[in-house]
Structure 1
Amino acid sequence: MKNLLLKAFIVCTILGSNAAMSQEVENNETINISRSLTSFDSTSKKLVGSSYIQKEFLPAKVIESDVTYATRFNVYQDEMEIKKDGEDYSLPKTSNYTLVFQGTNKTYRVYKYMVENTEKPGFFVELFKGDKIILLLKERIILQEEVKPSTGYEKYKPPTLKHIKDKLYIGYKNNTTAEVPSKKKDFFNLFSSKSSEVEKFAKSNRLGIKDPEDVTKIFSYYNSLK
């Protein structure tokens, strides 16, 4: 990864074609052009699993600059990787652009969220975005460390990258987030004066509060209320 080339690439392509967006970045944001380091050897033959849900590079468009890149999301490292002239780059974690994968319309934006009591930026899937409310999905892959047998009866367990249950978040216009409550009472209280109406809609349509598709329908319904 060449930091100078990456910096020039980011400024000239993603930000350079949109003056207003570029100005916002210069004044309010710091572009992170360094890539995360893995805590394991990704080329190790012992490693099981993958950092990616979708391993192949697929075309994705940066809406604000109308530029398309070969892209894939490194879920474990929370890095959006692209290919440019045969080299690998990482897009910055700023909130100034929307990345849409063509063919699937899967949309990513950067929001801030809490990790071990520390707020950090990360890529989220936008499941629904309305005037009143935004529903996000945080995809998650974790590293399970290798387990060496302590006795002759135990088996060796290799280091494993595992896709665990994704989390639902509420997105706010200031690009912060909060986890969607798992308890029904807390969940429907999100909708304030419309909570009873939304709960009735969910019950009549047999919609749960943990399934992403069901919650998307609930958020969409709430957004349609006057």
Structure 2
Amino acid sequence: MNSIHHNRLMVNALDKIDKKVVDNADFDGSPYLEDKFLPSKIEGEDGTHLLRYNIYNDEIVLRKDDEYFKVPKEGLEYFNIDNKYNIVLIDGKYYVQVSDIVNKYSVLKKESVRFIDAKPSENSYDQARKARFVKNRPDYFLYDRNNGKLIPFKKNDLEIAFSDKKDLIGKISKKNKLKSDEDYKDFFSELIK
């Protein structure tokens, strides 16, 4: 694995984190987009690095040998994780790119995870429950790369942003119920034609 050449990264801009924080078996579920560190590219850096995205803390974690680091949110804005996920940093938050970029627009989603504390058994009929992470339904956005604006993927917000396509947005909204990444990509492709 190649070393990172970015000057700020070379002067301890990465915060070392404890392995117990990264690999904790005291809870069910996962705070991560993927449980394993995957070979990844960092835009502006040479080589391949082992990364994973911690949704709960909204941070990219890098593994180098047996050490773990949080990647700083300054100067590194685009990560390709295992040619499977493109993670984009916008206004200090990470988003997963769902679609290709068309006419300077793309569909992004903001993943979220909630943590539920452990629950002890209250009586002999009740079972104790481990602490756990539960994924929430992601929020989707249309990202305008021209002005760096995130447009919530909601009918009213889209009609304001694309006032000349109000009728088309209404028509697409009636037939597309927007439940999966594919639904959002289909809506986007019809809108941006």
Match of 1:196 among 157, 160, 167: 167
Task: Return the alpha-carbon distance in structure 1 between the equivalents of residues 30 and 39 of structure 2.
Answer: 20
Distance in 2 between the 1:123 and 1:10 partners?
Answer: 22
Partner of 2:71: 91
TM-score (norm 1): 0.65
Q: Unpaired segments of 5 or more residues in structure 2?
A: none
Aligned residues: 187
Q: Can you give the 5+ residue segments of structure 1 that lack an aligned partner in the other structure?
A: 1-7, 16-30, 113-120
- Do the aligned partners of residues 63 and 33 (structure 1) sit closer, same or farther apart at CA in structure 2, a change above 3 Å counting? closer
Report whether the alignment pairs 1:12 with 2:7.
Answer: yes
What code does the residue aligned with 1:220 have?
A: S
Question: Given the two structures, how large is their TM-score scaled by the length of structure 2?
Answer: 0.75
In the alignment, the residues of structure 1 paired with residue 76 and residue 129 of structure 2 have an alpha-carbon distance, to the nearest angstrom, of 42
Cα distance change, pair 41–73 in 1 and its aligned pair in 2 (3 A): closer
Cα distance, 1:45–1:100 mapped onto 2, change above 3 Å? closer
1:180 matched to 2:153? The reply is yes
In structure 1, C-alpha distance between the alignment counterparts of 2:75 and 2:110, rounded to whole Å:
15
Equivalent residue number for residue 88 of structure 2: 109
Q: Is the 8 A contact 2:4 2:46 kept in 1?
A: no
Quote the sequence identity (%): 20
What's the CA shift for 1:141? 1.6
Aligned positions of 1:123-162 closer than 5 A: 123-128=94-99, 129-162=101-134
SS, match of residue 62 in structure 2? strand
TM-align CA RMSD:
3.4
Distance change >3 Å, CA 130–CA 13, structure 1 → 2 = farther
> Contact between 1:13 and 1:65, CA under 8 Å: does it hold in 2?
no
SS at match of 2:35: coil
Looking at structure 1, the residues matched to 113 and 144 of structure 2 have their Cα atoms a distance apart, in angstroms, of 24
